[in-house]
Amino acid sequence: LMNICKLDVSCSKHQDIYQVHEGSQLLLSACLSCDGCLSEEESLKISQQSLEEVERVLALNKKCDVSKHKVLVASICPQSLPFFAVKFGLDITEAAHKLCGFLKTLGVQFVFDTTLAAGFSILESQREFIQRYRRRHHDSHALPMFTSSCPGWIRYSERVLGSLVTPHICTARSPQQVMGCLVKKYFSKQQKLSPEKVYHVLVAPCFDKKLEAVREEFYNSLLETRDVDCVLTSGEIYCLMEQRKVSVEELDSVPLDHVLGEAGDVALVRHEGRGSEGFLEHVFKHAAKELFGLDVHEITYKHLRNRDFQEVTLERDGETLLQFAAVYGFRNIQTLVHRMRKGRVPYQLVEVLSCPGGCLSGRGQAESEAGGKVDKVLIQQMEEAYSSLPIRLPEVNPALHTLYQEWLQGQDSQQASTLLHTQYRNQSHTQPPHMQW
């Protein structure tokens, strides 16, 4: 594998998720970093996103040198919470409180849920889709629009697919990176802290989130700080609890904190969809109303090749108005790309995720204890736990409206455009040899 992909296999990530198969062929279904190739610089940056690095920061905090002291903030992806709920044998809310209690025993001072940040991503994706749809006749790159929340998909697009796909990717930042902005550019200011004095840890279901955190555009060279300093997977956190022989029963139940600094418990909610923030469903319903004046309450998915390749269609009087698709897993992504090369993609929007089954199936939490294989029973339990959360549309979330005004000076402001969006670019188009799809 080192010869094929030039990977630093000393990195724990690669030891965990990359496998050499018969005939030294790399199966893309086992590869979460798209083309599978990391530069030495990337490998170094990712190796620094570890429990050891977090413990190093905590150790410095215990010393008297105030100049090196940092305030630790942890943000938890909603797709990670079902993992802890299943592992703890608790409902999601209680599991979140126990996890918060554990993180605070480590020395983390604030613990947030990233659902608020995902709300920004959804609203900005909705707006961008409407803009793209309205310019579709004079902009060949306007449609289809591909979602941008999955770093594995983004990396594959930039490194392998290039200009075929990158102009079509929604520019809205992912929930992770919106959360990074919220913590470093809003919350730190509210706490009267310089951004570099905050160490931001994000708990995610997926290893590829580590790659996203080290992207160049999310680094402030002047202050030498990243929006997200360290990504730890759900599995890494759980392993730490096991190593320390932490008893869930003995942990305090500590409510999550509010980004806005409000008192009281955070009511855990979820967005629509199958466990991956539901960008397709949110944009579909918004577009149906905004473009055609139609209220869509229930969405019916039509299975195509498999459960991870589905279509959603909006029709009126026998006419197809909108046709969206959800495409999960690299095998299905390759089918989509093949059709795009042939000019046979009828969709206006495609929700693309590199993990089969979506974010709940991320390899940072869904592998069996034996390793290497996905634990289907665990995934089903996580799906059931996640679906138990009440749904709240981001459009009716008062905290989002407050932040749009107080932090971003309005939804149409330059500040909102700068902090909630990014750009995707073509990089070296390389693909490992002997790759099986």
Regarding pTM above 0.85, the answer is yes
202 vs 206: CA distance, rounded Å: 11
Indicate the angle between helix axes 115-134 and 279-292, nearest 10 degrees.
Answer: 40
| pLDDT above 90 (res 220) | no
- Matching residue, tokens 């969206």: 324
Each residue of 156-189: pLDDT tens digit? 999 889 989 999 999 999 999 999 999 999 999 9
pLDDT of residue 12: 37
| pLDDT above 80 (res 312) | yes
Radius of gyration for the alpha carbons in the chain, expressed in angstroms and rounded: 21
Each residue of 401-415: pLDDT tens digit? 999 999 999 999 999
| pLDDT above 70 (res 296) | yes
Find, among 23, 17, 216, 190, the residue nearest to 110 by Cα: 190
Residues near 406 by beta carbon (within 8 Å), at least 6 away in sequence: none
pLDDT of residue 62: 85
Indicate the pLDDT class of residue 64, thresholds 50, 70 and 90.
low
Find, among 40, 50, 61, 56, the residue nearest to 16 by Cα: 50
Amino acid identity of 234?
S
Domain ranges of the chain: 42-62+70-116+175-250, 119-172+271-420
pLDDT of residue 304: 79
| pLDDT above 80 (res 22) | no
| pLDDT above 50 (res 435) | no
Each residue of 320-335: pLDDT tens digit? 999 999 999 988 999 9
Q: Is 419 helix (H, G, I), strand (E, B) or coil?
A: helix
Between the CA of residue 422 and those of 20, 162, 406, 418, what are the distances in Å? 35, 16, 21, 7
The answer to whether domain 42-62+70-116+175-250 has CATH 3.40.50.1780 is: yes
Each residue of 349-361: pLDDT tens digit? 999 999 888 898 8
pLDDT of residue 428: 58
Indicate the pLDDT class of residue 15, thresholds 50, 70 and 90.
very low
| pLDDT above 50 (res 219) | yes
Each residue of 76-116: pLDDT tens digit? 999 999 999 999 999 999 999 999 999 999 999 999 999 99
Share of the chain above pLDDT 70, in %: 87
Q: Which CATH architecture has domain 119-172+271-420?
A: 3-Layer(aba) Sandwich (3.40)
